[in-house]
Amino acid sequence: MILGAGGSMEDDWLMRQFKAVGSGIGMVLKKELSSVELGDIQVNEGEALSREVLLNELLANGEYQQAFLLVNSLKFKMSLYEFNIVADWFIGYLKKLPQDAEPISARLIEDYHEKLKALL
């Protein structure tokens, strides 16, 4: 019988199950987001930029307010179901950021969440 560093074999097995379920849920959510068409934004005459590319760039650069405004602008451009997928993905992304490395508070994330869920 092989035991984990801090517990029993059952604890290790249970942790592996949690990780597997978490990975599966993450893949499903990522697949759902990639199946939602965010459309394009006209940046110059005849030139368009993918909203998905723009959103990823804003998040990578730490421009969370601009990313929030982009996500919020989709509220009436897509179905409620699709918008909820995008909004949930955005909030989940923000919640996964390391709190010590990124300048965004839990309160600001909650504020974004409330505003995205408001229908007005």
Distance CA 97, CA 107 (A): 14
Place of tokens 């923000």: 94
Q: Which has the higher per-residue pLDDT, 19 or 49?
A: 49
pLDDT score of 34 more than 60: no
Angle at the Cα of 97 from the Cα atoms of 91 and 101, rounded to 5 degrees: 145
Choose the weakest-confidence range: 35-39, 62-66, 68-72.
Answer: 35-39
pLDDT score of 47 more than 50: yes
Strands (DSSP E) contained in 1-120 are: 40-44, 47-50
Non-local CB neighbours of 113 within 8 Å, separated by 6+ positions = 87, 91
Specify the pLDDT at position 91: 94
pLDDT score of 72 more than 90: yes
pLDDT bracket for residue 116 (50, 70, 90): very high
First to last CA, the chain: 59
What token pair was written down for 40?
């394009």
